[in-house]
Amino acid sequence: MEARDSELEKELNATLQARSELGPEYESALIDSFLEKVDRRLDETLDRRVRRHLAEQQITVARGARAPHEPMAHFGERFGFGIISLVLAIPLSAIGVANAGLEGLVVAWLGIVGVNVAQVARSRPLFRRSEERTKSDWEG
């Protein structure tokens, strides 16, 4: 990383020298050019870090462990499933009460809760390894 910093330092010195030679009328063009180089360098660094992070996740998934981002990846699916189950709970409750009274209501809600528990159990392992719990996504 120090080599890259020295390259940026050389670019900055060259930009400052060009400004002193060309004068203040070229200042904005020189600054824009330097900022484009800094932006390009940041993009390259970010791309490299993202590729490394994705490669680490692929290795983790290949080993059979769950990817760290996976619970959030299925958030919309889980949220939608929960909303649909609550919407369907209204007519199921009414049917249960109409046909069997309080016992029917209890059976209907046990079924609703059971389906939701099964959905959560399908998308999340019961036990996680200790290193998966302690390691953050941003730790190297």
pTM of the model: 0.40
Q: Could you give the residue ranges of the DSSP H alpha helices within the chain?
A: 2-22, 27-62, 70-73, 75-100, 102-123, 130-134
Sign of CA dihedral 120, 123, 128, 134: negative
Q: Positive or negative, the Cα torsion across 27, 28, 31, 37?
A: negative
Q: Calculate mean pLDDT across residues 21-38.
A: 87
pLDDT of 37-53, one tens digit each? Answer: 888 888 888 889 999 98
Residues 27 and 76 in one domain: no
76 and 136, same structural domain? yes
Domain containing residue 115? 69-140
Based on the fold, state whether residues 45 and 30 are members of the same structural domain.
yes
Nearest residue to 1 via CA among 35, 45, 39, 32 = 45
